[in-house]
Chains A and B, each alone.
Chain A
Amino acid sequence: MSQVLYDAPGPKALARSRVISWVVAVLVLGGLGFAIFQLSGQGLFDADRWDIFNDPLVWLDLLNALVTGTLAAAGLAAIGAIALGVVFSLLRSSTIKWVRIPTTVVLEFFRGMPVLLLILFILLVFGVPAFWSVVIALALYNGTIIGEALRAGLRALPKGQREAGLAVGMRPLQSRLLIEFPQAFRNMLPIIVAQLVVLLKDTSLGYIVGMTELVRRGRLTSEFFGAGQYAFSVYFVVVAMYLTVNLSVSFLARRLARRRGQRLDTGRLKEGGMGDQSAVGNAPIIGAADGAAGGDGSGTS
């Protein structure tokens, strides 16, 4: 929590805080109210712009696209991405030069390619079905990000961990897999989960190869019934579905993070970006609990 940065507020500060809160509330509600007023002035909340949602078939289509398109692709890609991430991080933190350097080159390539292009490439070059080209592209891209996170996690561990492992006679790889890796993975869990949310959102790029997923299906639905009339309402429902799914995932991640926090308690990196290994041995100034699932910020493509 942020208490370190300021004192518990006194009466004056509380009063000021209350004033600011009111101003903010008025501003936000006013803005929202204005937007809603404008939108309803356009008739966007009229019943005839929403009546398609009386049809259970429309819901069925959207949910079907969510489950068999978005979630199925995301689930498979997530498994692949974590597996690849593990492999990448081990290869890239290898002590052998001719393992490390080629891996780095490959990683840089996948990290720098827009996912949109990666999907197209895989479809064109390998000729796999559209669904799988999306899954493979997402697994590759997010695998590199997760791999980098895990590598950062490995480097963030106190040197003593590895030294102790080697000292008791473990081979380097044994020490990596049995001692360092489990710790790094646990420490980086929030980042990994945040990246999985990114992955889930990126399934929407499957439209480029004609994979049916939630965004595409929503667009088709609104176009079929008349985009002028239903684009807004379908958009609204699709966003709500994404928020529901993603916030559930984030919530889960936060639960995991908190449980881990209890077990490992102090002296650990609570949350950090890929480039952030320097927090070891210090409690964070801003706790993880009030934040999002993880603060990696390696966005999407």
Chain B
Amino acid sequence: MEVILDNLPLYLRGFGMTLYLLGLTVLFALPLGALVAALRISPVPSLRVVAAVYTEWLRNTPLTLVFFFIAFVLPRIGARLDYEIGAVVALTLYTAPFFAEAIRSGVNAVPVGQAEAARSIGLTFGQTLGNVILPQALRGVVPPLINVTIALTKNTSVATGFFVFTLVSTGQRLANQNGDQVIPILLGVAFFYLVITIPLGQFADRLEERVVVNR
């Protein structure tokens, strides 16, 4: 316990970086995910294909390999990114398809009659989606989006191997200096993750219940 308090600044530094990565990634991945979700149901086949290939590719590749691509392959074609920015890019590319799928599942939850009704009064594709489906889908979409965000929070730990100082780096550094207190040190790291993930999870659960009740 003492070891955590003594090294609080180091924990906070890792925690800060975790929050930074989390915030920026959500900021970029959410719109990208929405775009991908829209592309996947668009009337233009080629757009559907591009979105589907992107989704399948990223969802089936381990995150470490996405990081590896950004950190070691991209520089070879002339795109050398700052490490923290690179981490945000890797996390964004990886997370966006998961966001897209969450949004899709929310859209699915809207009764098909809604779309039929919107279409039958002459609304276009964009109008149907934007004015009728998405507002209704939103409620159902939020819980799965939060679940993806929880996973993302933990995924930021993978950046540790790629020159970014995260909470896991805190743990590694302290564990090396205090070999006899590894378990409390790691519990400290876990605590800071749980500070983010548990409230998010609770929020999602609460919302979920409301969605159920409302229908």
Interface residues of A (CB under 8 A from B): 2, 4-7, 9, 13, 17, 20-21, 24-25, 28, 35, 38-39, 42, 44, 108-109, 111-117, 120-121, 124-125, 155, 197, 201-202, 204-205, 207, 215, 231-232, 235, 238-239, 242-243, 246-247, 250, 270-279, 281-286, 290-292, 294-301
Contact = CB atoms under 8 A, between A and B. Distances in A.
B56 to A, nearest CB: 6
A114 B157 contact: yes
B150 interface: yes
20 contacts: A5-B125, A20-B44, A24-B46, A38-B76, A111-B150, A112-B154, A114-B157, A116-B154, A116-B157, A117-B186, A117-B189, A238-B65, A272-B109, A273-B105, A282-B109, A285-B115, A286-B40, A286-B104, A292-B101, A301-B154
Interface of A is mostly: helix
B119 A292 contact: no
A297 B148 contact: yes
A24 B41 contact: no
Given A5-B125, A109-B194, A276 B106 contact: yes
The 9 A-B residue pairs whose C-beta atoms are closest, nearest first, are A275-B143, A273-B144, A112-B197, A301-B154, A299-B151, A246-B60, A21-B46, A295-B101, A38-B77
A146 B185 CA distance: 29
Contact of A284 (B55, B108, B125, B141): B108
B165 to A, nearest CB: 15
Contact of A300 (B101, B105, B151, B201): B151
Nearest to A279: B109
A201 B60 contact: yes
Interface of B: 40-41, 43-48, 50, 52, 55-57, 59-65, 68-69, 72-73, 76-78, 94-95, 98-99, 101-102, 104-113, 115-116, 119, 124-125, 128-129, 133, 140-148, 150-155, 157-158, 168, 171, 182-183, 186, 189-190, 193-194, 196-198, 201-202, 204, 207-208, 211-212, 215
A274 B47 CA distance: 27
A215 B143 contact: no
A298 B201 contact: no
Nearest to B95: A299
Contact of B41 (A5, A121, A272, A296): A5
B169 to A, nearest CB: 12
Contact of A297 (B60, B144, B182, B207): B144
Nearest to B101: A295
Contacts of B207: 275
Contact of A112 (B50, B113, B198): B198
